[in-house]
Structure 1
């Protein structure tokens, strides 16, 4: 479906929004205003799909706001999860061979890089990969990447590889990692620290969102997307309408023509309220 001169803009059928830095306030909370806007969208029959870099195990905090379908796209498109039931519906794994090739390449290019792993069984990491926030109090396997990914290792069905460097500038780390390993996997970032996030080739927020929309008969022209970091760029380019929040990374602000208020000022809710009002008026 496309919009041509003289034809009205398609009705909004799906809101695709990033979470941290976009929809959520500092501390990962949902404001009262944003919660009300999400509930109003759900009541109006507009799907709201959270499309996030977060792993499935970090989604319970937002489960009351996930909408009637109960589903979120996690790990930059690597997993689709039923948030309410805590059940993985589908994953898009990175092969062991590709993961090991990325690890070997980044170690050679960027000494000091350490790795962690998201997979259906949870989380695992190398000893040099420090965990300072989410997941730090969870029991998880720790060991060399080659052992964790080996035939007797804990990691099975890896859908996101994380690489952390002790002191590189975050944007430089992303650029350097892509320069040597982009042919092996999708490499992006969403964190303020030198941490890159790695998925199987062709697996991005956009690819998994497009798959979801196709399965539900939703055209991209009917999708409005929101984001703030480089891992949102493919999704924002794919959606029929896209907004960057005011606090977004400079690359995102430059790439997206429509901007809204910051996450702390309920930027997503502001747009969503206007879209719902416009759709109601045209009904």
Structure 2
């Protein structure tokens, strides 16, 4: 087991080359269990940016849950949220820069297929304006603005489709990216499915087999809660797009994660670290390890990277 001060690193304590970008998950990775960012981690992130290394937060969280790290995004201001479905500018009030939605027809097909494969499943629909859920879906975070109805109603609700508001405080997107799919003002960024009895990985396997052709399935919760994005949408695919725009190759990226929704990103990055507290699949898929999120494992690696820079 590695310690917080001695993470496993390539080439005796340094990455093979000085990275240009650090991509890190939040929950279970950068954040401590109380959802705070430690002083050591704040200092390490700032030092990396000062050294010319971009830091991207790449998370399954919706935009409205990004306040905890808003002050720690430096030069570019961008964060990848909802497992790659949205990119937001945290320097501009959470403005949506890019949205890669799940089309309503695909979401409805997923609901029907997952219900048939795993009776008892309940669903929530995450749109750019917020979350709405079925009556039996557990309200993990109560949202007073949520609409409660069947998944079919939530996916076909004209008011929800046409709501132009967004969860970050400003509307629309910019430049070369934007809302796709339904062509409406309030697209679906994520469908969530919960099962009260199945084990998390069992539920994930069943759902992927039943409906994998309609979307990208993953999970980041210790419960049987699945997160479903549009086909091909993942942390890795969106990160790769933004790295390509900056002329950054995967070999110049160091990534950190702990759960199955990080697997594609960790496999894509040239250097990847699993937290000591990571899911077994993540530990098996990554070459390097660092200390747990409670022991500032991300900061420990950043400190070593900076120490090894010329």
Task: Please tell me the TM-score bracket, short chain as reference.
Answer: over 0.9
**Within 1, Cα distance between the matches of 2:144 and 2:60?**
19
Aligned twin of 1:158: 188
Deviation larger for 196-205 or 141-150: 141-150
Summarize the alignment of residues 245-260 of structure 1 with structure 2, pairs less than 5 Å apart.
245-260=275-290
The answer as to whether partners of 2:131 and 2:143 remain within 8 angstroms in 1 is no
The answer as to whether partners of 2:37 and 2:68 remain within 8 angstroms in 1 is no
The answer as to whether partners of 2:102 and 2:189 remain within 8 angstroms in 1 is yes
**Within 2, Cα distance between the matches of 1:267 and 1:33?**
10
Deviation at 1:268, TM superposition (A): 0.4
Summarize the alignment of residues 209-248 of structure 1 with structure 2, pairs less than 5 Å apart.
209-248=239-278
> After superposition, what is the alpha-carbon deviation per residue over 1:239-281, rounded to whole angstroms, capped at 9, x for unaligned?
01000000000111011110000000100000000101112xx
Please tell me whether residue 275 in structure 1 is matched to residue 305 in structure 2.
Answer: yes
Aligned twin of 2:121: 113
> After superposition, what is the alpha-carbon deviation per residue over 1:93-126, rounded to whole angstroms, capped at 9, x for unaligned?
1111110000000011111111111111111111
Aligned twin of 2:179: none
Q: TM-score, normalised by structure 1?
A: 0.93
Summarize the alignment of residues 43-62 of structure 1 with structure 2, pairs less than 5 Å apart.
43-62=50-69
Deviation at 1:153, TM superposition (A): 4.7
Unmatched 5+ stretches in structure 2:
1-14, 162-185
Q: CA RMSD in A?
A: 1.3
Deviation larger for 153-162 or 70-79: 153-162
Unmatched 5+ stretches in structure 1:
1-7
> After superposition, what is the alpha-carbon deviation per residue over 1:45-94, rounded to whole angstroms, capped at 9, x for unaligned?
11110000001111011101122211110000000011231211111011
- How many residue pairs get aligned? The number is 271
The answer as to whether partners of 1:147 and 1:153 remain within 8 angstroms in 2 is no
Aligned-partner SS, 1:60:
coil
Aligned-partner SS, 2:27:
coil
Q: Which has the higher contact order (CA 8 A, sep 6+)?
A: 2
The answer as to whether partners of 1:51 and 1:73 remain within 8 angstroms in 2 is yes
Aligned twin of 1:91: 99
Q: TM-score, normalised by structure 2?
A: 0.85
- Runs of 4 or more off by more than 3 Å in structure 1? none
Please tell me whether residue 80 in structure 1 is matched to residue 80 in structure 2.
Answer: no
Alignment partner of 1:21 out of 24, 28, 33: 28
Aligned twin of 1:3: none
The answer as to whether partners of 1:141 and 1:154 remain within 8 angstroms in 2 is no
